[in-house]
Structure 1
Amino acid sequence: MFEDAVKRYVENNNQMYKDGIFRKETYISHESMIRKLVGYNESRDVPITYLYQLDRLFCNDFLDYIHLTLGNSPLYRNNCLVFIKAFCTFCVEKGLMNENPAKGVKPYKRNLIEKRRKVIPPAIVRQIGEHLLRHDKHFLLACYLLYYCCVRPIEQTRLKLQYFNLKDCTLTIPAEDSKNRRTQTVTLPKKVILLMLDLGVFNNPPHFYLFSNELLPGSVQIDRRLITIRWSRLKKELKLDDDYTFYSLKDTGITEMLEKNLSNISVRDQARHSSLAVTDIYTQRRKKADKHIVDLDGAL
Structure 2
Amino acid sequence: MDPIKNLTVSAKKRQPLTKSMLRRLNDYLSEHDKWMLLACRMEYYTFIRPGELRHIRINDISVKDMQIFVSGEISKNKRDANVAINREILTLMLDLGLFDYPGGMYIFGPGLRPSATIGDKNLFSREWCKLRSTLGWSPCYQFYSLKDSGIRDLANSAGIVVARDQARHTDISTTNRYLKGRDQPVHEEVIAFRGVL
TM range (shorter): 0.7 to 0.9
Instruction: Tell me, yes or no, if structure 1 residue 118 matches structure 2 residue 10.
Output: no
Match of 2:184 in 1: none
Give 2:166's aligned amino acid.
Answer: Q
Match of 1:158 in 2: 55
1:1-300 equivalent positions in 2, closer than 5 A: 111-260=8-157, 262-275=158-171
In the alignment, the residues of structure 2 paired with residue 149 and residue 130 of structure 1 have an alpha-carbon distance, to the nearest angstrom, of: 20
In the alignment, the residues of structure 2 paired with residue 271 and residue 199 of structure 1 have an alpha-carbon distance, to the nearest angstrom, of: 25
- SS, match of residue 171 in structure 1: strand
Give 1:214's aligned amino acid.
Answer: G
Deviation of 1:157 after TM superposition, in Å, equals: 0.9
In the alignment, the residues of structure 2 paired with residue 117 and residue 110 of structure 1 have an alpha-carbon distance, to the nearest angstrom, of: 21
In the alignment, the residues of structure 2 paired with residue 174 and residue 225 of structure 1 have an alpha-carbon distance, to the nearest angstrom, of: 21
- SS, match of residue 130 in structure 1: helix
Q: Which structure is richer in relative contact order (CA contacts within 8 A, separation 6 or more)?
A: 2
Deviations, residues 64-86 of structure 1 (Å, cap 9, x unaligned): xxxxxxxxxxxxxxxxxxxxxxx
Deviation of 1:110 after TM superposition, in Å, equals: 7.2
TM-score normalised to structure 2 length: 0.81
- SS, match of residue 191 in structure 1: helix
Match of 1:294 in 2: none
Does structure 1 retain, via aligned residues, the 8 Å contact 2:17–2:149? yes
In the alignment, the residues of structure 1 paired with residue 62 and residue 110 of structure 2 have an alpha-carbon distance, to the nearest angstrom, of: 23
CA change 1:111–1:191 in 2 (3 A) is: farther
Structure richer in helix, relative to its length: 1
Deviations, residues 97-127 of structure 1 (Å, cap 9, x unaligned): xxxxxxxxxxxx9744331111211001100
Deviation of 1:213 after TM superposition, in Å, equals: 1.5
What is the aligned residue count? 168
CA change 1:252–1:188 in 2 (3 A) is: same
Deviation of 1:178 after TM superposition, in Å, equals: 1.3
In the alignment, the residues of structure 2 paired with residue 180 and residue 114 of structure 1 have an alpha-carbon distance, to the nearest angstrom, of: 23
- SS, match of residue 73 in structure 2: helix
Percent identical among aligned pairs is: 33
In the alignment, the residues of structure 2 paired with residue 264 and residue 138 of structure 1 have an alpha-carbon distance, to the nearest angstrom, of: 29
Does structure 1 retain, via aligned residues, the 8 Å contact 2:109–2:118? yes
Q: Look at both structures and tell me which one has the larger radius of gyration over its CA atoms.
A: 1
Does structure 1 retain, via aligned residues, the 8 Å contact 2:54–2:119? yes
Give 2:112's aligned amino acid.
Answer: L
Deviations, residues 26-67 of structure 1 (Å, cap 9, x unaligned): xxxxxxxxxxxxxxxxxxxxxxxxxxxxxxxxxxxxxxxxxx
In the alignment, the residues of structure 2 paired with residue 111 and residue 200 of structure 1 have an alpha-carbon distance, to the nearest angstrom, of: 48
In the alignment, the residues of structure 2 paired with residue 224 and residue 135 of structure 1 have an alpha-carbon distance, to the nearest angstrom, of: 23
